[in-house]
Amino acid sequence: MTAPIYHRVALIGLGLIASSMSHAMRAKGLAGEIVGHAKSPETRATALELGLCDHVYATAAEAVKGADLVVLAVPVGAMAAVAAEVAPHLAPGCTVTDVGSVKQAVIEMVAPHLPDGTCFIPGHPMAGTEYSGPRSGFATLFVNRWWLLTPIDGTPPAAILRLQSLLEGMGAKVNSMDAAHHDQVLAVVSHTPHLIAYTMVGVADHLAQVSNSEVIEYSASGFRDFTRIAASDPTMWRDVFLTNKDAVLDILGRFAEELFVLQRAIRMGDGEHLFDYFTRTRAIRRGIIEAGQDTSAPDFGRSAPPPPSS
């Protein structure tokens, strides 16, 4: 156990990310006290039952009082309202961070509300599962995963370093970048792939000549991974696409072009083009395994342990 890095952490929103943070902070003694707020009474009761929070509050405004770290862990679309609500109640010197998957829009929504003497350090933990809710969290969710920060000019370096200590204490690797660049990177590595997976699953759902039960039964190969991606939280993803619109539309446009070129190669029977393309993409995969971002296990996760939820 190390000394707590924050004395009182207020988790606003108690879903997968916040509940995992609580487990991780408790496991490492990183927070003196953890309090929280969720809109739903059931979620608040669950948070107490699981020991995620020492106290829960019916409003975000109450929850943030006296906290030296406030974590906004609500869907991106709810950030503006939550920031406006908590702003008058923030303790002087308090750090506010968020865990949204989009950063420019969150900065626009949150920063204007916060009073002088507090600071907002936008953050994005690049970790998740297809599950959501307070029971879905586990202490190791962030281990060896990136937690990107997109600090605003003028933020005291000491406040950033303190937050970084907390995130690293939970096992995350921390990096900082410009918010606009973050949103472009995420459009490529996460947002557009999710939209495509949703689309492919939707196509399968609409087919008349192949039944849904066949799709489900024979999903072993590529489709199974798509459904895993496409099972993520609908609210979160709706907000991602609405708030990172420009970057996602840019990547989608490129994707459509590229797909049409491959589609044409299939139609024309151009095997050489297909082979060369598929050989190039294999090299990127090797890079990801070498970068330690995935296991090289060949079984597509079949032997993974059962989920931690009760």
Residues 69-128 that bind a second copy (CB under 8 A): 77, 126-128
Stretch 223-262 residues interacting with a second copy (CB under 8 A): 223-232, 234-235, 237-239, 241-242, 245, 248-249, 251-252, 254-256, 258-260, 262
Q: Is 155 in the site for a second copy (CB under 8 A)?
A: no
Q: Which residues contact 227 (CB under 8 A, 6 or more apart)?
A: 197, 201, 219
Q: How far is the CB of 180 from a second copy (least distance, A)?
A: 10
Pick between residue 58 and residue 203 the one whose CB is nearest to a second copy.
203
Q: Which residue from 60, 39, 102 is spatially nearest to 239, judged by alpha carbons?
A: 102
Q: How far is the CB of 274 from a second copy (least distance, A)?
A: 4
> Given the structure tokens 């087919």, which residue do they identify?
207
Pick between residue 115 and residue 234 the one whose CB is nearest to a second copy.
234
Stretch 271-290 residues interacting with a second copy (CB under 8 A): 271, 274-275, 277-282, 284-288
Q: Is 300 in the site for a second copy (CB under 8 A)?
A: yes
Put the strands of the sheet holding 69-72 in their side by side order. Answer: 55-57, 31-37, 6-12, 69-72, 95-98, 119-121
Q: Is 208 in the site for a second copy (CB under 8 A)?
A: no
Q: Going along the chain, which residue ranges are E strands?
A: 6-12, 31-37, 55-57, 69-72, 95-98, 119-121, 123-125, 146-149, 173-176
Q: How far apart are CA 39 and CA 12, in angstroms?
A: 9
Q: How far is the CB of 251 from a second copy (least distance, A)?
A: 7
How many chain residues touch a second copy (CB under 8 A)?
112
Q: Applying CB under 8 A, which of residues 32, 66, 133, 308 lies at the interface with a second copy?
A: 308
Q: Applying CB under 8 A, which of residues 84, 130, 162, 168 lies at the interface with a second copy?
A: 130
Stretch 29-48 residues interacting with a second copy (CB under 8 A): none
Q: Is 293 in the site for a second copy (CB under 8 A)?
A: yes
Q: How far apart are CA 57 and CA 36, in angstroms?
A: 6
> Given the structure tokens 């192949």, which residue do they identify?
210
Q: Please tell me the number of Cα atoms within 13 Å of 112 on its side-chain side.
A: 8
Q: Applying CB under 8 A, which of residues 58, 81, 161, 210 lies at the interface with a second copy?
A: 210
**What angle do helix axes 179-186 and 245-268 make, rounded to 10 degrees?**
30
Q: How far is the CB of 221 from a second copy (least distance, A)?
A: 4
Q: How far is the CB of 5 from a second copy (least distance, A)?
A: 24
